[in-house]
Amino acid sequence: MLNNKTILVTGGTGSFGHHFVDYVLAHYKPKKIIIYSRDEFKQFNMQNDYKEYSDILRFFIGDVRDEARLHRAMKGVDYVIHAAALKQVPACEYNPNEAIKTNINGAMNVINACLDAGVEKVVALSTDKSVNPINLYGGTKLVSDKLFCAANAYSGEGGPRFSVVRYGNVAGSRGSVIPFFQNIIDNGGTELPITDFRMTRFWISLEQGVELVIKALEDSKGGETFISKIPSFKITDLAKAMKPDCELKEVGIREGEKLHEIMVTAEDSARTYEYEKNYIIYPHYNWWSDSMIVPGGKLVKPGFEYSSGNNEVFLTVEELQAKLKTDLDKH
């Protein structure tokens, strides 16, 4: 599918971008991969990491806030992966205008550039925080998701197909709980703070995140939201897996933090289909036809909700220890 194709990744110097490039180079023979981001130092480091692929990788300094620059970068592009965003919840709360400029205005700029350039498919990365949002970051990503799904109405016959993939914090990613705990442990700490002992999260590796994007590129007809079927874990069990003899201290839930990650709401159940490895929430627009539904799935029951708190599969402490070794070592 990606052989001899040109792919552009916004925010491509992040953890996802590195793993996406690794995956694509290992499984396909792309014509070109364009890394579009605004940090020249990260681009410099990434160029050094992939010196042997200098004939394939291109590095484009630019911000998704700059629509003209995006238009220039999109020339000749077949597929676009939109990973650029301001993601830190406290930073978005303190700098709401900046979050809106990047996460909402930037999304519109990417959509307009893709429409004008006539790319084939666009996949936007979303987050569990866009579901019933309680913080500004989640609110901006909800708007972004809606923009990308609705953009299909402007594509016309043969135009770009826009879809969304949704997952929570990737295991071990910056800002997630694993490096936070590890820093305490590395500095000799024996007590790990837990905001709420009831808290649960989904476990998804970078590789699974990339595979979900590839799935969306393969199967999307336009307007779908793709969600992986992944296990859950208790934050208290993660702490025990990282330091079995640790003491746990409940410190209180933070502003903008949820007890559980929610991927599919009960309101979405009427348009959600379950497949072997994922769910797909199909759009409900007048241009959508049910004949476009991917075969092999079944409609979930009315009122179905996919949450890390009600998941059928939970990782044990021992399974978490194994995943900490395998999934994080791949990063």
Backbone angles phi, psi at 125, to 5 degrees: -80, 130
Q: How far apart are CA 147 and CA 35, in angstroms?
A: 23
DSSP bridge partners of 101: none
Out of 129, 215, 240, 258, which one is annotated catalytic?
129
Instruction: Give yes or no for a contact between 246 and 191, defined as CB atoms under 8 angstroms apart.
Output: yes
Q: How far apart are CA 214 and CA 220, in angstroms?
A: 10
Q: CA-CA distances (angstroms) from residue 26 to 21, 53, 62, 125?
A: 8, 12, 27, 22
Classified as helix, coil or strand, 165 is strand
Q: How far apart are CA 122 and CA 83, in angstroms?
A: 11
**DSSP H helical ranges for 189-250:** 206-219, 235-242
Residue 234 bears catalytic tag: no
Q: How many CB atoms lie within 10 A of CB 68?
A: 10
**DSSP H helical ranges for the chain:** 15-27, 40-49, 67-73, 89-94, 96-100, 106-117, 136-150, 177-186, 206-219, 235-242, 317-329
Residues 6 or more apart whose CB falls under 8 angstroms from that of 34 comprise 6, 7, 8, 9, 12, 57, 58, 59, 60, 73, 77
3-state helix, strand, coil in the chain (%, to 5): 40, 20, 40
Catalytic residues: 129
